[in-house]
Structure 1
Amino acid sequence: MTKEENEERLKRLKSIVSALPEKPGSYQYYDAEGTIIYVGKAKNLKARVSSYFHTEVDRFKTKVLVSKIHDISYTVVNTEEDALLLENSLIKKYNPRYNVLLKDGKTYPSICVTKEYLPRIFPTRTINKKWGTYYGPYSHVGSMHAVLDLIKKLYHPRTCKFPITKEGIEQKKYQVCLEYHIKNCGGPCVGKQLLDDYQKNIEQAKEILKGNTRVVLRALKDEMLQLSEQLRFEEAEEVKRRYLLIDQFVSKSEVVSHTINNVDVLTITNDEKIAFINYIHVSNGSINQSFTFEYKKKLDETDEELLQLGIVEMRERFQSNAKEIILPQEINLNLEGVTITVPQRGDKKTLLDLSLMNGKQYKFDRLKQAEKLNPEQKSVRLMKELQDLLHLPKMPYQIECFDNSNISGSDAVAACVVFKKMKPSKQDYRKYNIKTVVGPDDYASMKEVVWRRYHRLLEEEQPLPDLIVADGGKGQMEVIRQAVEDELGLNIPIAGLAKDDRHRTNELLYGFPPRVIGIKDTSELFRVLTHLQDEVHRFAITFHREKRSKHALHSELDDIKGIGPKAKETLLKVFKSVKRIKEAELSALTETLGTAKGKIIFDYFHK
């Protein structure tokens, strides 16, 4: 690879990284042949993956890995724990070359169940099949210890390393240790726990290590019912304790339910010109394949037509023989021996939602990449998002927002700010002095300003806004509606931005009667709307301060005709205050300003 080709490769990879979501998930690196060479997990995908491409990375092994990367894919999940489980599943499926290399040469630990008379269960990195049966390896030590802790709580396998034999127990060669006294061991070495009971516990522990937790749960439930029928309630309570422990562990350790096996999931997310179809394959309760691909629409294909194409292509590409396909809608497609399911609730619906979330995230990331190349595209996306959210007749190219400012009704002013293409258009900002309202009446002031604004635009035949936003809630929206619809006869959509007790924007209102529109306060659109509200508030406050400052500096000298700023400045410089100017003799005034102006000042104060 030439230097230019390598630079182009890194540039392309960094553009992918810059668009990654800040969400938990698993990421996969591919080499030039499209083979997965590394699988990782992250609490924050963007932060984690970008760390590989920092210039200050000095680990040799990381540099080797980065030099082999030609493409990056990822799967988002709901929690960091789900990301860990998904990483484990993918590593087992693909056995990526660099996952072991980046562990500093160490092998992953496994769990050994020995072949002794009283088997032991412990973690090890050394594999010798003469000693026992091995389960794993576990790429994450935390998940391995979680399983071991569960087995310890459930079955109390012995932890001592004595070579215990049947003869030794019969000859009473052994004594119980501290583990027995603190109830971490049943004491099988001295016959306190029967061999059959101990062996039964070990067999159930093996089933858990195999991942067959549902089998163990069914067996425990049957045993619990039998004991209850026999009125052996204390023993039934102990079995119930084990059942609940395993059930709790299962609910935390599965990405999806273990009852879901060999299933394909497909969802579709539409754009005007492109459809994004996400494919997930689930085996034994774990996701082992996730992929999102694009279809460029040519003939306004329907979702059903695109899903049909996606099912055929994905099953062929990944050689899936799943007997069930989970979809968001019914489609007319008959595949021999395959059932199509449209779930409404439960684990399968959760899986469908996860697939849809991945499809939407992929679409969003592609749009972000495109926006970096064409910034204008971002504005269009936000306008389209707001249009869809409020069901507006057209994209809100021009948005106007109003706010009032006064102190107990004095120096009452209002402001109007204008956003075009979701950005401030400062040359279109307008300031208003309140003319018809006496006292602190924000509603009446808002109504006056809105009426004046749009009455003038109509007279001047200027374009009207696509959306009006009130800096406030239902009251402000209603007075704007009265001015715009009732008095001017205009049909302009009106929204409101309400604040909480801490004076922070927390609700977007729309419609009459106004209703709360669901919008995430971390979204880009919410940030733009908050900027709009902050901007009109800033503009109104600034104008009010300017007016108040001018009012505070006003003096009686400003009311005297024939006395300009320069004469006023000269008088104050000589006499220091208006009071001294009032008390000054005519000769002193004429000496300072001249005969004519001195006489004007004297006559004004001595009428």
Structure 2
Amino acid sequence: MNQLIEYKLSLLPDSPGCYLHKDKTGHIIYVGKAKNLKNRVRSYFRGSHDTKTEMLVSEIADFEYIVTESNIEALLLEINLIQENMPKYNIRLKDDKSYPFIKITNEKYPRLLITRQVKKDKGHYFGPYPDSGAANEIKKLLDRIFPFRKCKNPPEKVCFYYHIGQCSAHTICHTDKAYYDQMIEDVKNFLNGHDNKIVNQLREKMEKMAEDMEFERAAEYRDLISAIGILRTKQRVMAQDMLDRDIFGYYVEKGWMCVQVFFVRQGKLIQRDVNMFPYYNEAEEDFLTYLGQFYQDSKHLIPREIFIPAAVDEKSVRAIVDTKVMKPQRGEKKQLVNLANKNARVSLQQKFNLLEKDFRKTQGAVENLGRLMNIPIPFRIEAFDNSNIMGTSPVSAMVVFENGKPNKKEYRKYKIKTVLGPDDYASMREVIRRRYSRIQKEGLRPPDLIIIDGGQGQVNIAKEVIEKELGLAIPVAGLQKNDKHQTQELLFGDPLEVIDLPRHSEEFFLLHRIQDEVHRFAITFHRQVRSKNSFSSKLDGIAGLGPKRKQKLLRHFKSLNKIQAADLKELTKLGIPQKVAENLQEVLQSNTNQTRVK
């Protein structure tokens, strides 16, 4: 803790307010609120914390605070400050999407659409549906039941949907407004849960078709009735009042919070939203911060009612969201809040299980590797491999693993410039020198460990360049393969020796992934270079055939064999002059004859 922070801590008031932590550059990295600023801000610099809080505290170089009259004022101010400054350690809701609605247009012959914009156009809107799949599923069912207009065809032309009974063909069958008004009313009733009327009508039609021996049509009505039943099952009816509600639940463990939101539309539970994030204050306070951002940052529509867990202060929620706020005490409403809490717990525990598994494979493996090699934890590993065929098109490649995971943005490709013939040692010397002299010159971050895909010779070459030529202190290790080209052992130390790695350990599997990845990257690059060189070399020296014409030929014919098989007419069609085309055919034919003689 620096002296400035220590002095400021002694001046903190016992008042509610907001505090703003800053890093050494003056940027705000965290905004928080407190009922008592003195106690809250001091707590960051006293006692022990979990890893994520320690990371935040390690970056704090200064802080400011704003005193408010009440805790609710502090909550509202905190939400505004987070929106304005977007601190990296605060909760960020990235979901800025708008949700879909089902719409019946206000036209003489209305249509049924899905839209994400609600306009004052006298159309009928149903929703919102938090999941576009749910909206599409419902619309598809409505299209099969209600024959709204599907197209903008002229009056004398019917569309495909007319022939399958899903369009009323407005200019032929129905032109009166009363017909469409009744259909709109039926859709409203259907979406509001009063679908018995529609089901009964479909059942009557099914029975009539069966009596008339039209079994295929009867089966269609049967399938529609079944689809409505499935939709009923998916959309659990919560209440008979048909209100729109958002039901919140949360669970906290190990410094993480999971919030679950159940969306109830027209009285039916249709979807949920899940968010998990680290929290730094009291759970209830960070939940309130989340709730404020949920309705202000993103485009979630505010429903008629919000249900919240019992531990949350209703007055604070009402200050954030202008709607009815309830804490159900009994019955099905209480069960839904409990269900949201339970789902939050299950989701968070699942995340911990996945994180634990991922940690063992990545960062845990990196930490164990550092211990086995007796070096600092190699958070950043750079691995190299060479590739060539008999010295032709020699290349090298570098891959980067950070915290046990590949960082493909940091991968690099190298064409060997100073080596003639198949000299793997000289190629490795050139690439290591180029890579780390640049790191020295530009002040880039060096790796914690360099891995060479090769044996003792390649590793010693790399160590010589790193330590003697460039004077760097970066550990260098080698990965040797067995006769089956599989990862066999790790070479490290001075002198080099085999590091004992258990064959089924996560550290061994990590090294295996690194070796496979750098080999794959090098081979892919070598094939690209070889293919390009093979193509260009046979077309070099042909008078009038420059780079642009070569590229045009390759794009059109895709291969040298097809170029060779092309006649003069095909070549000149591409804009190749007659004389140049003749020279091209003569050179390629000559190369073919020489190959046959050999």
Please classify the TM superposition score into its range, dividing by the shorter chain length. Answer: 0.3 to 0.5
Q: Which of structures 1 and 2 has the bigger CA Rg? A: 1
